[in-house]
């Protein structure tokens, strides 16, 4: 009830914020975020900071954390009615709303670093069928929210070869779970806060999270014996998504402020994860965790065994729905081959 009331209040405010304004006018936006302030939210914090500083305090972006304005799976609904002007959107939370987004959540995509990830995702979001999907929610992709590749951390026997995954119970969501199933593992969907207890009690033997910061954030290293390095399972991708109507009404001067802030926001995202790694690896070493290194040759085998079959199945499913699934998949794979310079 509290969230519904908050939504109605912000809705009325949001409609006012979307009215055309001159650059000298005061404009206030609200961004809806899930989770607390963390490495993944530095982008929003930077955009809000630049908006305020560069506009002389005339353009304010209020950040609402922890789903104060509604559940994360409903963020596109909130954007559609202009309850808020921007949101931290995880498309996999409501995959039916934007089915073509699913290709970016496929396992073992050949996108090894954050620089390439931003370029691939931003280019894909500009593709007409994808942008039109978001337009149905009066929404538009503004920039990618970078997440490090997922790795595993676990207890029991380390998976030193592909056969060792057989029968292992693992926390792996969506397409990542589909991939692990093809390796013979038994995937389970467990919320992040419940993962520590699950590993500690032996409910499952391994958990996948963005590497490395999520493992230490949820203290999984304290109950684990090993972690993978180089597996690069994939990501659950997110975007900074804006309300189209509000964007069109925004003075050009304020649009430029946000556009100019992108490059720095991407740099800050990468730095936040680098800093997390510097803190995490010493923690892993202190616990004497075994490093299960996945060689490039092993990863190629993973792609053939548990990557490509999931990609093809997703593309075929999209085609059955009348959507260009095959073209979407080939576009992402082609973009991933392009140099980042």
Looking at every residue in the chain, the average pLDDT score rounds to 90
For residues 339 and 273, the model is more confident at 273
Q: Is the pLDDT of residue 315 over 50?
A: yes
Q: What percent of the chain has pLDDT over 90?
A: 75
Q: pLDDT per residue over 192-222, tens digit each?
A: 778 899 999 999 999 999 999 889 888 999 9
Q: Mean pLDDT over residues 38-64, rounded?
A: 95
For the record, the structure tokens of 119 come out as 């370029």
For residues 20 and 57, the model is more confident at 57
Domains 2-95+137-146+236-275 and 150-235+278-337 belong to one CATH topology: yes
Q: What is the pLDDT of residue 19?
A: 45
Q: What is the pLDDT of residue 92?
A: 85
Q: What is the pLDDT of residue 39?
A: 82
For residues 17 and 208, the model is more confident at 208
Query: 110-116: long-range contacts at Cβ-Cβ below 8 A with a sequence spacing of 24 or more?
Result: 110/303, 110/333, 110/336, 110/337, 111/149, 111/336, 112/149, 112/232, 113/340, 114/146, 114/148, 114/266, 114/269, 114/270, 114/273, 115/270, 115/340, 116/336, 116/340
Q: Is the pLDDT of residue 20 over 80?
A: no
Kindly list the domain boundaries of the chain, sorted by start residue: 2-95+137-146+236-275, 150-235+278-337
Q: What is the pLDDT of residue 5?
A: 41
Q: Mean pLDDT over residues 4-29, rounded?
A: 56
Q: Is the pLDDT of residue 10 over 50?
A: no
Q: pLDDT per residue over 216-266, tens digit each?
A: 888 999 999 999 999 999 988 999 999 999 999 999 999 999 999 999 999
Q: What is the pLDDT of residue 121?
A: 96
> Phi then psi for 259, rounded to 5 degrees?
-60, -45
pLDDT tier at 340 (50, 70, 90 boundaries)?
low
Q: What is the pLDDT of residue 133?
A: 97
Q: Is the pLDDT of residue 43 over 60?
A: yes
Q: What is the pLDDT of residue 24?
A: 64
Domain 150-235+278-337 bears CATH identifier 3.40.190.170 = yes
Q: Residue 90: which of 135, 130, 33, 42 has the closest Cα?
A: 33
Q: How far is CA 332 from CA 289, 292, 311, 325, 326, in A?
A: 35, 28, 11, 11, 10
Residue in the block written with tokens 């490495």: 39
Q: What is the pLDDT of residue 173?
A: 81
SS3 content of the chain, % helix, strand, coil (to 5): 55, 15, 30
Q: What is the pLDDT of residue 192?
A: 77
pLDDT tier at 9 (50, 70, 90 boundaries)?
very low
Q: Residue 185: which of 171, 199, 198, 203 has the closest Cα?
A: 171
Q: What is the pLDDT of residue 283?
A: 95
CATH superfamily of 2-95+137-146+236-275: Bacterial extracellular solute-binding protein, family 7 (3.40.190.170)
Q: Is the pLDDT of residue 176 over 50?
A: yes
Please confirm whether the linkage preceding 212 is cis (ω < 30° from 0): yes
């Amino acid at each position: 009830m509290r969230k519904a009331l908050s939504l109605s209040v912000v809705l009325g405010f949001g409609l006012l914020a979307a009215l055309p304004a001159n650059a000298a006018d005061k404009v206030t936006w609200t961004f809806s975020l899930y989770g607390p302030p963390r490495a993944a939210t530095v982008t929003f914090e930077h955009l809000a900071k630049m908006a305020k500083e560069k506009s002389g305090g005339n353009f304010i972006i209020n950040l609402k954390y922890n789903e104060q304005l509604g559940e994360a799976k409903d963020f596109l609904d909130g954007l559609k009615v202009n309850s808020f002007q921007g949101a931290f959107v995880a498309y996999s939370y409501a995959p039916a709303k934007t089915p073509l987004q699913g290709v970016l959540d496929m396992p073992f995509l050949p996108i090894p670093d954050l620089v390439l990830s931003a370029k691939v995702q931003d280019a894909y979001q500009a593709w007409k069928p994808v942008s039109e999907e978001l337009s149905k929610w009066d929404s538009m992709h503004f920039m990618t929210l970078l997440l490090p590749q997922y790795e595993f951390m676990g207890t029991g026997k380390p998976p030193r070869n592909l056969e060792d995954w057989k029968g292992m119970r693992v926390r792996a969501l969506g397409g990542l779970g589909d991939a692990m199933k093809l390796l013979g593992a038994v995937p389970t969907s467990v919320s992040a806060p419940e993962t520590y207890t699950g590993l500690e009690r032996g409910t499952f033997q391994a958990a996948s999270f963005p590497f490395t910061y999520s493992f230490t954030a949820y203290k999984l290293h304290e109950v684990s014996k090993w972690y993978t390095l180089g597996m690069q399972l994939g990501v659950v991708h997110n975007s900074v998504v804006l309300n189209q109507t509000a964007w069109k009404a925004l003075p050009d001067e304020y649009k430029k402020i946000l556009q100019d802030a992108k490059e720095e926001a991407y740099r800050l995202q990468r730095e936040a994860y680098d800093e997390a790694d510097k803190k995490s690896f010493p923690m892993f070493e202190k616990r004497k965790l075994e490093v299960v290194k996945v060689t490039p040759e092993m990863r190629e085998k993973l792609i053939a065994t548990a990557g490509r079959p999931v990609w093809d199945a997703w593309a075929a499913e999209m085609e059955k729905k009348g959507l260009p699934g095959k073209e979407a998949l080939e576009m992402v794979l082609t973009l991933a081959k392009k140099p980042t310079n």
